[in-house]
Chain A
Amino acid sequence: MSVLILGCALIAAQVMLSVAIVLAAWRVVHGPRAQDRVLGLDTLYVTALLLIVTFGIRTGSNFYFEAALVIALLGFTATVAMAKFLMRGEVIE
């Protein structure tokens, strides 16, 4: 019974997060301006991280946590670099 409840909730949550990723990707493709694309990419990173956390709950293993942490670090660095690029035209001055 508890497996059924948690399993259904996990499927629903994963579907919702996947739809959120698709919508964020739509914003990346659609634009209209460069800052919108970067914002969409940042949202995509955070949503993908949450999706991986739900996968970790489903399998009950700790290994997904490390993948989520790497995504968090990479997402932050990538978005900061792109925001800096939009402002100055170069990343490292």
Chain B
Amino acid sequence: MIQAPELPLWAAIVVSLLILSGASLTLIGVIGLTRLKTFYERVHAPTLGATLGGVLICAGSMLCFAVLQTRVIAHEILLVGFVLITTPVTLILLVRAALYRDRAEDNPHVPPME
């Protein structure tokens, strides 16, 4: 009951390695999200999945479809580019919001406004 596309052996091994390493990096990032102590530490964790994790999984997908359909399938580049550019933007905005809220409440460990 294992469903997967028929690939040549070398391609299957390379795709498997890419997907497994990407998924484990993403998982490590999310483990960091649950285990780290403060909010500012936790913001660093999801970037693992959004950068190298995502790139590896999408590279695996690209290679798989390129071998399967014997033509270059490039639209995962779009996905990777989009995630790579938008995740930092959301994180910057989120940290700005968190800094603003922490300063408004005079929480310790937050540098004051310049």
A–B touch (CB < 8 A): the answer is yes
Name A residues whose Cβ lies closer than 8 Å to a Cβ of B.
1-14, 16-17, 19-20, 23-24, 26-27, 33-36, 38-40, 42-43, 46-47, 49-50, 53-54, 56-60, 62, 65, 68-69, 72-73, 75-76, 79-80, 83-84, 86-87
Majority secondary structure of chain B interface residues (helix, strand, loop or mixed): helix
Q: Tally A-B pairs: CB < 8 A.
A: 190
B94-A46 in contact (CB<8A): no
Least CB distance from A79 to B in Å reads 4
Residue count of chain B within 8 Å CB distance of chain A: 61
Among A46, A59, A69, A86, point to the contact of B50 (Cβ < 8 A).
Answer: A46
A46-B87 in contact (CB<8A): yes
B39-A36 in contact (CB<8A): yes
Q: Is B83 an interface residue, CB under 8 A from the partner?
A: yes
Name B residues whose Cβ lies closer than 8 Å to a Cβ of A.
2-9, 11-13, 15-17, 19-20, 22-24, 26-27, 29-31, 33-34, 39, 42-43, 45-46, 49-50, 53-54, 57-58, 60-61, 64-65, 68, 73, 75-76, 78-79, 82-83, 86-87, 89-91, 93-94, 96-98, 100-101
Residues of A within 8 A of B24 (CB): 16
With the chains together, A76 CA to B87 CA distance in Å?
A: 7
Among A3, A53, A57, A84, point to the contact of B2 (Cβ < 8 A).
Answer: A3
A13-B22 in contact (CB<8A): yes
Interchain residue pairs A-B with the least CB separation, the first 5: A9-B16, A7-B2, A2-B12, A13-B23, A7-B4
Least CB distance from A21 to B in Å reads 8
Residues of A within 8 A of B19 (CB): 9-10, 13, 54, 57
Additional 9 contacts, C-beta under 8 A, given A13-B20, A24-B30, A83-B94: A7-B3, A9-B16, A11-B2, A23-B33, A23-B34, A27-B33, A39-B46, A54-B19, A58-B4
Residues of B within 8 A of A16 (CB): 23-24, 26-27
